[in-house]
Amino acid sequence: MDSQTAVAPHLTQDPSTAGRLKPDSLGVLGILFFVLSAQAPLTGIAGAVPIAIAVGNGAGAPAAYVAAGVVVLLFSIGFVAMGRHVVDAGAFYTYIGRGLGRSTGSGSAGVALFAYCAVQAAMYGLYGATVSGLVEHYTGVRVAWWIWTLVTMVVVQVLGAAGIEMGAKVLAVFVLAEFSILLAFALVTLVKGGGPEGLGFGDSFSPGAALQGAPGVALMFAVASMFGFEATAIYGEEAREPRRTVPRATYLSVAVITCFFAFTSWMLVSAHGASAATDEAGKALASGDATAFVFAPVTAQFGAWAGDVLPVLLATSLFAGILAFHNSANRYLFSLGREGLLPRGLTAINRRHSPWAAGVVQTVIAAALVLPFAVLGKDPVLTLFSWFSGVAVLGIMLLYFLTSVSVVVFFRRTGADTRPWNTLVAPVLGALGIAGAIWLIMANFTTLIGGDRVTAVWLQLTVPAVLVLGLVTARLTRHRHSVPA
């Protein structure tokens, strides 16, 4: 009896599908919704844009999103080229392993899993605080943030086990809702000719505007807002015609995300007026509610009802992101179990071909990351959300860099694809851009997490520590398997 059957004999119905996720489950749009959900668009706009404007380059912040989009696009060219030859739910670690060796790939797997679980835990913190505030506002009943978080963990676990198609449908509703109201605001502002100072295209996109203030800080937050697009490859096993679907979904995701953030942030600057935007963003941050910079002009445009709807959409945006990262992380656990780097029991799938065992473990990890903050009485936004989101961004950027290098090495060694732009030039340019982004993140990490320098240093050290732990684990696992029983 194999390990998967031993774990759950009633859950595997067909030996031919054992250890495999359900194929032909997702098309381009299904994958796109998972990616956009991981972006949590309203959260990214309401949380990152005010900081990028206030602390970064002011009215030139929209240009930072364009620059970040270019870097991500260059990275995705090599990423897609690799994906045509490697289809696996492990994505990052599989790609890195093919180019830089299995040990490096295994170390990166630890970083990827850590990053996805960290960003999900961060979202749980902000989500719990948001829902707690909404319930108290409308009912007068105060329930601790962590209670809402734990209840939501159960819901996410159930939806994750219900199958990838169900998750895609749920996320589609939430993503369309938050995208719709922000795009409607941006389009109406555009049609009306902008705010008190007009559209101010040059105030946001001219070279002078882009380079004013601290453009590096703005670029850092812009890159952080695009975290999650790489999930297109994670769903390759479940995609219809993955060699066509995944590339299309990847490029479409990058284009949609870049255009959305650049356009919406530009219209927010215009709505406030380019000369006043920096001060208004600063006031919103000083008040402790950065969302006011975004919610105020949207409410002014559409009326009081928007002010009531937006906080609810912020909660659903976070929920969608949590569910998306749950699905990404449990597929990493599933893939690591299948590779023998983690217990084989993680490969157990249910009748819907969902990795139920990996999903349970992922939920337990999420609870383990969140509960200490609840027990210690820490502020879920200023600590849990800020700290873990910063660590996650640093971890994923490291994986982007390693993947770009791996793409170049893999194709130089195998000759599987000889197109110089796709397999050499674009990946190298992407790696250089990502290296620059990593330097900016490291230099401004205290600002990114909103904490003190000592905390920033300890948090930064967790990423290389996890990488080394993954490398050691991989070597010990290979040694154990090479010794005769």
Tens-digit pLDDT profile for residues 148-173: 999 999 999 888 777 655 555 666 77
For the record, the structure tokens of 350 come out as: 């249910």
In this prediction, residue 484 carries a pLDDT of 46
Alpha-carbon distances, residue 198 vs 195, 239, 246 (angstroms): 5, 44, 40
Phi, psi dihedrals of residue 198, rounded to the nearest 5°: 80, -165
Which one is predicted more confidently, 352 or 465?
A: 465
The mean pLDDT of 413-439, rounded to a whole number, is 91
In this prediction, residue 279 carries a pLDDT of 94
For the record, the structure tokens of 45 come out as: 């706009």
In this prediction, residue 203 carries a pLDDT of 93
Whole-angstrom Cα distance, residue 233 to residue 203?
A: 37
Kindly report which listed range (78-87, 106-115, 206-215) carries the lowest average pLDDT score.
78-87
Whole-angstrom Cα distance, residue 400 to residue 406?
A: 10
344, 5 in Cβ contact below 8 A?
no
Whole-angstrom Cα distance, residue 381 to residue 383?
A: 6
115, 396 in Cβ contact below 8 A?
yes
For the record, the structure tokens of 302 come out as: 């559409």
In this prediction, residue 330 carries a pLDDT of 85
Indicate whether 313 pLDDT > 80. Answer: yes
Indicate whether 6 pLDDT > 70. Answer: no
In this prediction, residue 81 carries a pLDDT of 87
Task: Give Cβ neighbours of residue 80 (< 8 Å, ≥ 6 apart).
Answer: 246, 247, 250, 251, 422
The 3-state secondary structure of the chain, one letter per residue? CCHHHHHCCCCCCCHHHCCCCCCCCECHHHHHHHHHHHHCHHHHHHHHHHHHHHHHHHHHHHHHHHHHHHHHHHHHHHHHHHHCCCCCCCCHHHHHHHHHCHHHHHHHHHHHHHHHHHHHHHHHHHHHHHHHHHHHHHHCCCCCHHHHHHHHHHHHHHHHHCCHHHHHHHHHHHHHHHHHHHHHHHHHHHHCCCECCECCHHHHHCHHHHCCCCHHHHHHHHHHHCCCCCHHHHCHHHECCHHHHHHHHHHHHHHHHHHHHHHHHHHHHHHHCHHHHHHHHHHHHHCCCCCHHHHHHHHHHHCHHHHHHHHHHHHHHHHHHHHHHHHHHHHHHHHHHHCCCCCHHHHCCCCCCCCHHHHHHHHHHHHHHHHHHHHCCCCHHHHHHHHHHHHHHHHHHHHHHHHHHHHHHHHHHHCCCCCHHHHHHHHHHHHHHHHHHHHHHHHCHHHHHCCCHHHHHHHHHHHHHHHHHHHHHHHHHHHHHHCCC
For the record, the structure tokens of 153 come out as: 């963990």
In this prediction, residue 417 carries a pLDDT of 84
The mean pLDDT of 54-67, rounded to a whole number, is 92
The mean pLDDT of 368-387, rounded to a whole number, is 91
* Confidence band, pLDDT 50/70/90 cuts, at residue 281: very high
Whole-angstrom Cα distance, residue 450 to residue 183?
A: 29
In this prediction, residue 15 carries a pLDDT of 36
Alpha-carbon distances, residue 227 vs 44, 95, 137, 230, 311 (angstroms): 10, 18, 31, 8, 22
β-sheet bridge partners, residue 198: 195
Instruction: Return mean pLDDT, the chain.
Output: 83
Q: What is the pLDDT of residues 357-375, one digit of tens each?
A: 888 999 999 999 999 999 9
Q: Rounded to an integer, what is the distance from CA 185 to the centroid of its chain?
A: 24
Task: Give Cβ neighbours of residue 107 (< 8 Å, ≥ 6 apart).
Answer: 467, 468, 469, 470, 471, 474
* Confidence band, pLDDT 50/70/90 cuts, at residue 20: low
For the record, the structure tokens of 145 come out as: 């943030």
In this prediction, residue 479 carries a pLDDT of 58
Q: Please, what sign has the CA dihedral across residues 206, 62, 271, 280?
A: negative
For the record, the structure tokens of 400 come out as: 């982007």
The fraction of the chain above a pLDDT of 90, given in percent, is: 38
Task: Give Cβ neighbours of residue 101 (< 8 Å, ≥ 6 apart).
Answer: none
CB atoms closer than 10 angstroms to residue 70: 15
